[in-house]
Structure 1
């Protein structure tokens, strides 16, 4: 079971925080966090359900992390292990995560795949997403995996889709010519793009496109 104590900075003041594996006692709060992060018109049936969360802690507790700030649950991040073939990169979120149920978790795989990262809006200025991502890097190293991988939706692509391909848009973000809230965050926390996945998820802002972003285990060649 993962547990790490740390301080996060809130307007220059250190606040005690902890990142740990979530448990069944956290399920109601985790679902409430999803509701805050994805309010209507986002369909409530797409928030986490208890069966999905139960699978996360049963199949891969090390990949089921949450963060507490001042004793209050403020966010979560979930992953599973898969056997990834870089030569066949195109896939959907549903395919790689079993629709969030992670019944395809493969302990013998080589890649930690990100299922979800979610932080309550009122805590986002504390950079909790960054700390959760760094903790997942710990999990990659602990399990001696080759990489962390996941799809980052191209959240601003709909503004440029008439003028450029998803690949060109991603290149513009990497060159600093455009800012994309999701991809720019991933770049700040050490992720690097390895390709584009089309029809990744049903999302108008990204035109269903995601950048596949990885972090490679520096202890593996």
Structure 2
């Protein structure tokens, strides 16, 4: 069972948060946070439903983690285990996550794949997303896995797609010339780029693109 408490800061004031596995009684709050976190034009059918959440806690509870701020649900992260071949990185979110139902979770897989991460908007200044990502890194180290992997949306890409390719956009974000709310966040979390993936997700802002990003287990020496 994973559970830890620590402090975050809001205007120099320490605030206690708890990171733990989510459970069935958390489902209504988790679904509400999805609706707040991914408003239109994000497709509403991609918000969590109870069947998906049930699968998360049944098939891979270790990858179903939430965070509370002073007792209020503030966000979640979900993952599954899979095999990843760096020579063939192209895939869609639907393929990788079984449309969020994770029935393709492979208990023997060595790559921890991020299905979703979301933080309630009013708490986004507290850097809770980095704490949730840290929990996934801790899982990778604890279980001697190879990496954390996942596709990062590129929600500002549509503002630049008339003059930049998706690859050029991603390069400029990594170089610090453009700030993208998702890719820049993942960089701050310690994730590094693998490649741009086309048709990753039905996402108008990203025009279907995502930047595949990983975090390799630093305790393995075969990288």
The interval holding the TM-score normalised by the smaller chain is over 0.9
Mapped to 1, the partners of 2:73 and 2:195 lie a distance apart of 34
Mapped to 1, the partners of 2:161 and 2:34 lie a distance apart of 29
The answer to whether the aligner puts 1:203 opposite 2:213 as a matched pair is no
Question: For residue 188 of structure 1, what is the aligned residue in structure 2?
Answer: 188
Mapped to 2, the partners of 1:42 and 1:117 lie a distance apart of 14
The answer to whether the aligner puts 1:121 opposite 2:121 as a matched pair is yes
**Which runs of structure 2 are paired with 1:170-185 in the superposition (5 Å)?**
170-185=170-185
Offset of residue 35 of structure 1: 1.5
Offset of residue 43 of structure 1: 4.5
Mapped to 2, the partners of 1:56 and 1:20 lie a distance apart of 14
Question: For residue 99 of structure 1, what is the aligned residue in structure 2?
Answer: 99
Q: What TM-score do you get using the length of structure 2 for normalisation?
A: 0.96
Gapped runs of 5+ residues in structure 2?
A: none
The answer to whether the aligner puts 1:83 opposite 2:83 as a matched pair is yes
Q: Give the count of matched residue pairs.
A: 221
The answer to whether the aligner puts 1:148 opposite 2:148 as a matched pair is yes
RMSD of aligned residue pairs (Cα, Å): 1.1
Mapped to 1, the partners of 2:164 and 2:31 lie a distance apart of 37
Pick closer, same or farther for the CA change 1:179–1:44 going to 2, 3 Å.
Answer: closer
Question: For residue 2 of structure 2, what is the aligned residue in structure 1?
Answer: 2
Q: For each residue in 1:74-105, what CA deviation from the matched residue of structure 2 results, as whole angstroms up to 9, or x when unmatched?
A: 00000000011111001000000000000000
**Which runs of structure 2 are paired with 1:6-17 in the superposition (5 Å)?**
6-17=6-17
Could you list the runs of 4 or more consecutive aligned residues of structure 1 that deviate by over 4 angstroms after TM superposition? Answer: 40-43
Q: For each residue in 1:199-220, what CA deviation from the matched residue of structure 2 results, as whole angstroms up to 9, or x when unmatched?
A: 0001111110000010000011
Mapped to 2, the partners of 1:44 and 1:155 lie a distance apart of 16
